[in-house]
A and B are shown apart, each in its own frame.
Chain A
């Protein structure tokens, strides 16, 4: 498929940035002594990144099948991803070692990075062009 390489590049780009940002913010909280926030944020960001990778990696499975199987595959994919995204929230609710708010914030790390990346490129670094 012609789409595989650019998509993988995109995933690598946003996944790396999301994890780097999460680790950077977590280090600040670690220095301030909020270990639970640090753990929650990294765990949320990790699941957010894997979810983003899963979104694209399973797409070709749907495209290759006939319509009915593709629909079932898409439904299964959504169910799997949502169950997967529920794991860090469950862990944060059950174990005080992970801060719930930080975990939830971590789950939005990839969309936040995508948004920040495009806005910064358009508005902040437009003078370079």
Chain B
């Protein structure tokens, strides 16, 4: 029996590792490709600045790659670590760890490409602002990585915690649900944060005097766009750390799995939507800084409304955990 668990844990770890780096590479590759495409556009507009654009592209790509390195780390740990197989729950936990990190890296990789691309274009438009544009781009890209860090945290908890004392039914559903909640919800927030940061770099290039207002509003917008990922993290924590009573039926396990799916999928749209709402605010504040108060208010109200669907998802998620 002990051998059986070990074999299944290995199978789950190998599949989880494949999913982690396979899915995780998608976002970084898209983000890096987008940056390179924008860099080409920038160089064609002003070939004399090719060196600066090239440097900016490289730096932006180095940051955009971080999320996929997280995926690589999780994949390597799953492949080569000696994961203690105390129960069949470990099988679900290690597979969920791969799912969490794989999905969680997609949004951050894609998102980080937007500010890097916008900075390359902005640099040829406003060469004097190169340093400030690069800093803005780097801050924006770094904040984009936060949702993937949430996914990494959940992956590590799933890999390194001992769930041996928990009942197999329904805990396996909770483990898979936790991975899906943290991973999928990070997609929207990563992309949304990137859309805001891209608009910020573009705004600074159009109106260099607005740099401090635009950077502040970008950070505010990115912070709010992270909310669906935070809700996903919260649901994942509840699923991992709440002790569920043993059952003989499949329904409670599926309810817990659905709870994670509900929060994960439900967080994708709001994250992107909030990013779009915030990018509008940032873009127009750069062009009309005098109306910063009205524009910020409109942006925040728009983001709050876009956020509501993530809250509905969380409510249903909590109902599935605590009521069903």
Contacts and interface: CB of A to CB of B under 8 A. Distances in A.
A, B bound: yes
Given A93-B77, A118-B135, A6 B63 contact: no
A107 B76 CA distance: 14
A89 B76 contact: yes
Contacts of A78: 25, 29
Contacts of A93: 76-77, 80-81
Contacts of B80: 89-90, 93-94
Interface of A is mostly: helix
B319 to A, nearest CB: 38
A94 B77 CA distance: 10
A119 B77 contact: no
A55 B55 CA distance: 11
B295 interface: no
A118 B134 contact: yes
Contacts of A10: 55, 58-59
Contacts of A114: 59, 62-63, 138
Contacts of A107: 69, 73
Contacts of B73: 89, 104, 107
B66 interface: yes
Interface size, B (range): 20 to 34
A108 B25 CA distance: 17
Given A6-B55, A93-B81, 19 more contacts: A2-B51, A3-B50, A3-B51, A6-B51, A6-B54, A7-B54, A7-B58, A82-B21, A82-B68, A85-B69, A89-B72, A90-B80, A104-B73, A111-B63, A114-B59, A114-B62, A118-B134, A119-B138, A121-B135
A110 interface: yes
Contacts of A7: 51, 54-55, 58
B55 A115 contact: no
Interface in A69-128: 78, 82, 85-86, 89-90, 93-94, 100, 104, 107-108, 110-111, 114-115, 118-119, 121-122
A5 B69 contact: no
Contacts of A119: 135, 138-139
Nearest to B21: A82
B292 interface: no
B142 interface: yes
B61 interface: yes
Interface in A48-68: 52, 55-56
